[in-house]
Amino acid sequence: MKKQITGKCCSGLKNLLTPGMFKALSDPHRISILINLAESCTPCNVSRVAECCPVDISVVSRHLAILRKAGIVEARKSGKEVFYSVCYHGMVVALREIADAIESCCPASSAEGGTPL
């Protein structure tokens, strides 16, 4: 008989695995936008960001809003323009916390090549 897991050992995952973050990272255009912003090394306006994507600038703007809402990019207004940049620290912290929470859920045998999750 298998031992049933109550979920308390992995309770930290509930707060860390947010649909918003995964939704934001699940679209190929948003990934392209994120890569473009990271490679530019400077904040970019929507027109500059849109150069990477074969979609209308209004669609790019909506993608940026989803990324911003998820905390993946930040927006800074300068006059009439909005400049976007990657929130590196926030992403690193979030992904590290997720990895740590998953690792703490895994019995030692699973982490060492035992039964897959």
In a domain? residue 46: yes
Residue 80 is predicted with a pLDDT of 92
Burial of 28 (0-12, 13-18, 19+ CB in 10 A): exposed
The CATH number linked to 90 is 1.10.10.10
In a domain? residue 9: no
44 with 1: CB under 8 angstroms? Answer: no
In a domain? residue 87: yes
Smallest CA-to-CA distance from 86 within 46, 34, 50, 47 is with 34
Spatial separation of the C-alpha atoms in residues 96 and 2, rounded to whole Å: 31
In a domain? residue 31: yes
**Is the model more confident about 103 or about 65?**
65
In a domain? residue 112: no
In a domain? residue 8: no
In a domain? residue 50: yes
Q: Which residues pair with 81 in a beta bridge?
A: 78
Could you report the per-residue pLDDT of 58-94, keeping only the tens digit for each? 999 999 999 999 999 999 999 999 999 999 988 888 8
Residue 53 is predicted with a pLDDT of 81
How many domains does the chain divide into? 1
Residue 113 is predicted with a pLDDT of 56
In a domain? residue 1: no
Could you report the per-residue pLDDT of 13-35, keeping only the tens digit for each? 767 777 788 888 889 999 999 99
pTM value is 0.73
Query: Mutual orientation of helices 28-40 and 57-69 as an angle, nearest 10°?
Result: 80
User: Domain range holding 43?
Assistant: 14-105
